[in-house]
């Protein structure tokens, strides 16, 4: 007999229901006067948020009507999210009446017991950092009005720190006592998330006695989960892992203890760790946008639109040598048109690959060594030329500005990153590339764009040449247009060059184009600086030459990846198609 099972009649308003609680689901079916079943609502136990005695409301304000025979159940309810790729989660609430107080207590006790036993990753205690200056400066308000009441309902105790300076959250995580915390929540944007990431990864390696500076070291995955309450400017990590920018949805993912592993890229310079990145490591256009945007922080999130336009108009390209270590092409490809969705099979297979040799958690980390040793045996590829931008991302990096992201088929937790090379091209070509980020058109289907799934990347300036030699007039000389130029080398791991191919012709504005469009000509004749900077998740790096390596599943977020809308349907019946997800409200 199932010990968790409880079944009885309950009333919802004046309607009688047959309610059943198993270890996995809480269902209630309305029955008519002739005892015939009508509508069933099924809530997975994993998605029950809280149970309260009496008739209770939480949002927008807590209202409790204490009664003897009533209880209220709060749970996750899905709703269509307009333009975003994911689903909005809302707080569902149903008030039940029982025939006796004894029965009511039986229901509330049993529900609380199954919640404990069937949702092991639900947090009990969280450390919360709020950046009061992120995005539209609404972090504090968002936390106190939306998130805190839900945490209280779910019985989560939280220690809240409103930051007073940059890097306060990182330093706290590196140095202070973290005993008893199950996770860390950041209320802010990608920059704030990055602080948490650095603090937690750094602390974990310190405690494990590992050296972060050595790129060959297998880093130890962090035990504390990270939750993100979006309150920033780009909010890319939240969007790419949840599918919507919505503090309530994110708070619910945290409460139910969802778990999403995430790849992290370490960036090194001259044998030292520089930073970690998850969303975007970008040189050229994205570096310049960040530099420009820092001057206009007062504009809030709009600073990126303004700076993006200004940098686009400055029409720059930069010389560089990019080397990359390709990932196994048999596992996946950045152009396979798949999307990494909740329960992604590519990421699951990667988990097995990353960790499968070892069954106990102590040896789980050493399996990373085998991953790295196979990397060192791989074949490095080299390309050299002028680039509009060079970007590396461990995930799609979708965000409201770009709903499918920098690399729409990238995976959150497959241990690889996507390297996007945009060769120099004419301004209209580059505009086409940028514009495609805002639509479903393939931004990689352009002759001056390449994308590679990689495990590691190196970038440096062409050797033996001073910076002044890259001071040049206009951004389009040396560019690649339709059917254009690139140099490709492959190199074995000992560094010897094996092959060099050079094809095509460089693309620049023709005289005809210049006559037809004097505006573009004027722009491209301005002096460009020789060097750009790296934009590393919204931070400017102080070095140009870098080595970067992807660490598979180094951290875990309170998220579950983007839920597949197609797999969900408008269903209020108990339904074996949905299994976990039965309440999709239109
Ligand atoms: C003609 C339309 C042009 C539209 C171009 C759209 C390209 C958008 C790609 C966005 C990728 C975002 C990757 C995430 C980067 C963030 O880490 C970083 C810091 O965010 P935050 O801490 O919230 O400030 N954001 C950026 O670097 C902004 C890039 C904006 C580029 C236009
Ligand atoms: N109290 C503070 N004062 C100034 N800067 C801060 C503070 N707290 C955090 N920061 C820094 O602000 C930067 C931007 O924060 P973020 O929350 O990502 O907002 P946005 O998305 O608008 O850039 C982060 O790099 C973070 O280190
Ligand atoms: Ca990845």
586 residues of the chain, pLDDT tens digit each: 456 799 999 999 999 999 999 988 999 999 988 888 888 999 999 999 999 999 999 888 889 999 999 999 999 999 876 667 789 999 999 999 999 999 999 999 999 999 988 888 999 999 999 999 999 999 999 999 999 999 999 999 999 999 999 999 999 999 999 999 999 999 999 999 999 999 999 999 999 999 999 999 999 999 999 999 999 998 999 999 999 999 999 999 999 999 999 999 999 999 899 999 999 999 999 999 999 999 998 998 899 999 999 999 999 999 999 999 999 999 999 999 999 999 999 999 988 777 764 444 333 333 333 344 444 457 999 999 999 999 999 999 999 999 999 999 999 999 999 999 999 999 999 999 999 999 999 999 999 999 999 999 999 999 755 444 434 333 333 344 444 444 555 444 333 333 222 323 223 334 444 333 333 333 344 445 689 999 999 999 999 999 999 999 999 999 999 998 776 654 444 444 444 444 443 3
* φ/ψ (deg, to 5) at 252: -70, -40
Q: What are the contacts of 179-182 at 24+ separation with CB within 8 A? A: 180/125, 181/125, 181/126, 181/127, 181/224, 182/123, 182/124, 182/125, 182/126, 182/224, 182/225
Tracing tokens 């560094």 back to the chain, one arrives at 495
What is the predicted pLDDT for the residue at 120?
87
CA distance 8 to 547: 63
Cβ atoms of 11 and 96 closer than 8 Å: yes
- CA nearest to 170, candidates 209, 131, 219, 223: 131
Give the ligand at the shortest distance from the Cα of 186: 2
Cβ atoms of 382 and 322 closer than 8 Å: yes
Relative to the CA of 191, which ligand 2 atom is closest? Answer: 18
Tracing tokens 């203890």 back to the chain, one arrives at 257
CA distance 341 to 267: 27
CA distance 323 to 491: 9
Provide the greatest CA pair distance for the chain.
89
CA distance 561 to 558: 10
Could you tell me if the CB of 165 is within 6 A of ligand 2? yes
Tell me whether residue 235 is one of the annotated catalytic residues: no
- Domain(s) labelled CATH 2.60.200.40 in the chain stretch across 265-551
Helix (H, G, I), strand (E, B) or coil at 382: strand
Per-residue model confidence as pLDDT tens digits over 361-412: 333 333 333 344 444 457 999 999 999 999 999 999 999 999 999 999 999 9
Q: Which residues surround ligand 3, an ion (CB under 5 A)?
A: 263, 394, 411, 414, 416
Relative to the CA of 189, which ligand 1 atom is closest? Answer: 23
Local structure of residue 358 (DSSP, 8 states):
-
Among 68, 70, 182, 190, which one carries the catalytic annotation?
190
The number of beta carbons lying within 10 Å of the beta carbon of residue 493 is 12
What is the predicted pLDDT for the residue at 374?
45
With residues binned 3-state (H G I as helix, E B as strand, rest as coil), the percentages for the chain, rounded to 5, are 25, 35, 40
Which two three-digit tokens encode residue 511?
């005289």
What is the predicted pLDDT for the residue at 466?
45
Which two three-digit tokens encode residue 13?
């308003």
- CA nearest to 470, candidates 251, 282, 321: 321
Could you tell me if the CB of 480 is within 6 A of ligand 2? no
Domain 6-120+570-585, architecture per CATH: Roll (2.30)
Q: Which residues are within 8 A (CB) of 212 and not within 5 positions of it... i.e. 6 or more apart? A: 201, 202, 205, 219, 266, 273
β-pairing verdict for 125-130 and 183-188: parallel
What is the predicted pLDDT for the residue at 508?
39
* φ/ψ (deg, to 5) at 383: -130, 150
CATH C-level class of 265-551: mainly beta
Cα angle 524, 527, 530; round to 5:
115
The pick from 129, 186, 192 for probing ligand 2's pocket by mutation, whose C-beta has the most ligand atoms within 8 angstroms, reads 192
Cα angle 415, 245, 226; round to 5:
50
* DSSP character string of 138-188: -HHHHIIIIIHHHHHHTT-EEEEEE-SSTTHHHHHHHHS--TT--EEEEEE
Distance set, CA 174 to CA 162, 177, 211 (Å): 17, 9, 14
Report the pocket of ligand 1 as residue ranges, CB < 6 Å: 189-191, 232-236, 279-280, 286, 289-290, 304, 308, 397, 399, 401-402, 406, 434-435, 437-438, 535, 537-538
CA 15 vs. chain centroid, Å, equals: 43
CA distance 159 to 132: 16
Indicate the burial class of 252 (C-beta count within 10 angstroms; 0-12, 13-18, 19 or more). Answer: buried
What is the predicted pLDDT for the residue at 84?
72
**pTM (two decimals):** 0.86
What is the predicted pLDDT for the residue at 569?
53
Query: Rg of the chain over CA atoms, in angstroms?
Result: 26
CA 556 vs. chain centroid, Å, equals: 10
Relative to the CA of 293, which ligand 1 atom is closest? Answer: 28
Cβ atoms of 568 and 584 closer than 8 Å: yes
Residues linked to residue 228 through DSSP beta bridges, in sequence order: 186
Residues linked to residue 57 through DSSP beta bridges, in sequence order: 63
* φ/ψ (deg, to 5) at 3: -70, -25
CA distance 429 to 452: 20
* φ/ψ (deg, to 5) at 15: -100, 130
The pick from 190, 294, 430 for probing ligand 1's pocket by mutation, whose C-beta has the most ligand atoms within 8 angstroms, reads 190
Distance set, CA 246 to CA 53, 109, 243, 304 (Å): 29, 32, 9, 20
Which two three-digit tokens encode residue 22?
């198993």
The number of beta carbons lying within 10 Å of the beta carbon of residue 246 is 23
Cβ atoms of 184 and 153 closer than 8 Å: no
CA distance 221 to 2: 37
Could you tell me if the CB of 537 is within 6 A of ligand 2? no
The length of the chain, given as a count of residues? 586
CATH of 121-257, one of 3.40.50.1950, 3.10.20.810, 3.40.50.720, 3.40.50.10330: 3.40.50.10330
Query: Hey, what's the torsion of the CAs at 565, 570, 572, 574, to 10 degrees?
Result: -60
- Domain(s) labelled CATH 2.30.29.30 in the chain stretch across 6-120+570-585
């Amino acid at each position: 007999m199932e010990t968790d099972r409880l079944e009885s009649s309950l009333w919802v308003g004046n309607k009688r229901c047959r309610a059943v609680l198993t270890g996995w689901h809480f269902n209630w079916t309305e029955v008519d006067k002739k005892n015939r079943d009508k509508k069933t609502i099924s809530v997975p136990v994993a998605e029950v948020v809280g149970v309260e005695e009496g008739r209770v409301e939480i949002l927008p304000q807590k209202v409790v009507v204490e009664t003897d025979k009533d209880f209220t159940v709060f749970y996750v309810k899905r709703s269509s999210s307009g333009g975003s790729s994911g689903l909005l989660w809302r707080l569902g609430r149903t008030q039940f009446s029982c025939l006796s107080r004894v029965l009511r207590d039986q229901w509330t006790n049993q529900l609380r017991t199954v919640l404990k036993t069937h949702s092991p990753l639900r947090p009990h205690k969280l450390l919360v950092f709020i950046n009061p200056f992120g995005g539209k400066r609404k972090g504090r308000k968002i936390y106190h009005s939306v998130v805190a009441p839900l945490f209280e309902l779910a019985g989560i105790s939280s220690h809240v720190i409103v930051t007073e300076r940059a890097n306060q959250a990182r330093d706290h995580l590196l140095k202070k006592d973290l005993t008893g915390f199950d996770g860390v929540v950041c209320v802010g944007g990608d920059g704030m998330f990055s602080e948490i990431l650095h603090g937690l990864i750094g602390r974990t390696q310190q405690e494990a006695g590992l050296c972060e500076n050595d790129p060959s070291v297998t880093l130890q995955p962090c035990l504390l989960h990270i939750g993100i309450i979006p309150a920033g400017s780009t909010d890319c990590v939240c969007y790419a892992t949840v599918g919507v920018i919505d503090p309530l949805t994110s708070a619910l993912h945290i409460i139910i203890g969802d778990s999403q592993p995430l790849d992290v890229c370490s960036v090194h310079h001259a044998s030292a760790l520089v930073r970690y990145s998850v969303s975007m490591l970008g040189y050229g256009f994205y570096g310049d946008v960040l530099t420009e945007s820092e001057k206009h922080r007062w504009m809030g999130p709009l600073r990126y639109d303004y700076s993006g336009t200004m940098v686009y108009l400055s029409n720059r390209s930069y010389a560089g040598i990019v080397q990359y270590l390709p990932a196994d092409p048999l596992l996946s490809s950045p152009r396979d048109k798949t999307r990494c969705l909740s329960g992604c099979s590519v990421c699951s297979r990667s988990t097995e690959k990353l960790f499968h040799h070892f069954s106990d958690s102590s040896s789980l980390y050493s399996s990373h060594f085998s991953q790295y040793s196979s990397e060192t045996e791989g074949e490095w590829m080299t390309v050299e030329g002028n680039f509009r931008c060079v970007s590396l991302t461990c995930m799609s990096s979708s965000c409201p500005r770009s709903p499918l992201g920098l690399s729409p088929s990238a995976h959150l937790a497959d241990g690889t990153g996507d390297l996007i090379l945009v060769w120099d091209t004419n301004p209209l070509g580059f505009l086409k590339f940028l514009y495609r980020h805002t639509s479903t058109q393939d931004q990689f289907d352009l002759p001056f764009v390449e994308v590679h799934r990689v495990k590691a990347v190196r970038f440096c300036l062409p050797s033996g040449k001073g910076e002044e030699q890259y001071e040049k007039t206009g951004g389009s000389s040396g560019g690649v247009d339709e059917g254009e130029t690139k140099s490709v080398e492959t190199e074995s791991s000992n560094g010897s060059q094996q092959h060099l191919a050079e094809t095509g012709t460089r693309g620049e504005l023709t005289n005809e184009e210049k006559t037809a469009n004097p505006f573009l000509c004027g722009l491209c004749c301005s002096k460009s600086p020789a060097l750009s900077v790296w934009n590393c998740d919204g931070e400017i790096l102080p070095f140009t030459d870098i080595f970067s390596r992807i660490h598979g599943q180094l951290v875990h977020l309170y998220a579950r990846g983007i839920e597949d809308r197609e797999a969900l349907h408008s269903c209020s019946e108990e339904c074996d198609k949905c299994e976990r997800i039965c309440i999709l409200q239109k």
